[in-house]
Amino acid sequence: TMFRMPDVTSQPVAQMIVNGSEAIDTFLFIGGMLVCYLTVKRVKFEKKSFNIFSFIFYKLWRIAPVLYFILLISTLGPLLGSGPVFHETMRDSVYSCFQSWWQNALFINNFFHAKEMCLEHTWFVSCELQLYLLSIFVIFPLIWSKKIGMALNALIVVGSVVYTGVVTYFFDLSPTVTITHLNPEVMIDEDLQKFSGSRVMRIRCRVPGEST
């Protein structure tokens, strides 16, 4: 079956699964749209004040306690099991937490390479928080002037798209994460690590999803 992977993944239905990582932009789009819409409505139409400290604290209060609890529990992972592949599996996802837990605690782990990341899947939490904070620089212009806000928003989206294209071309990356590689001389794991470390987890490449 593995030898037929290129044929299987070329099918339209399989492409929706293979390109599933791009669905993350859907969640960023929904989150960005709701934050912008509700905040502008509250300030501009309901004439309520915008407190930037409450804006930031509300977000941190929702996600920080849960993330910190998960980081604490993950340190107990090595004590909860054993087996032929247990430590190999834990090495790729949990063992790095002993050195890089602070990256998650500061919500900056998505700026580091995937191999150095504690709980790799939590990159989305940091990316979403960073975009949430950056939305302040889009919300204020929208409140002040609709035209200026929309122009700034369009400029940010175009800049991020261009940046993503340049990075993809410069590092010779595939359009999306693939579970196999058409070139047998290329190691799949190395290709995925290069893809993740260069583009997927970078906030600059996820701005269109939040800003659109």
Question: Residues 108-148: pLDDT tens digits?
Answer: 988 887 777 888 888 889 989 999 998 898 888 888 888 88
User: Where is pLDDT greater, at 100 or 2?
Assistant: 100
Tokens of 178: 């693939």
Question: Residues 29-84: pLDDT tens digits?
Answer: 888 889 988 998 888 888 888 889 999 999 999 999 999 999 888 877 777 777 77
| C-alpha to C-alpha distance for 80 and 119, rounded to whole angstroms | 17
Angle between helices 146-170 and 136-144 (to 10 degrees): 150
**Per-residue CA distances from 174 to 16, 58, 191, 207 (Å):** 16, 38, 9, 20
pLDDT of 2 > 50? The answer is no
User: Where is pLDDT greater, at 23 or 45?
Assistant: 45
| C-alpha to C-alpha distance for 111 and 36, rounded to whole angstroms | 25
| C-alpha to C-alpha distance for 94 and 77, rounded to whole angstroms | 7
**pTM higher than 0.95 for the full model?**
no
**Neighbour-count burial of 131, counting CB atoms closer than 10 A to its CB (0-12 exposed, 13-18 middle, 19+ buried):** buried
| C-alpha to C-alpha distance for 187 and 14, rounded to whole angstroms | 22
**Helices marked H in the chain:** 5-9, 12-18, 24-40, 52-74, 86-93, 97-105, 123-134, 136-144, 146-170, 188-195, 207-211
C-beta atoms surrounding 173 within 10 Å: 18
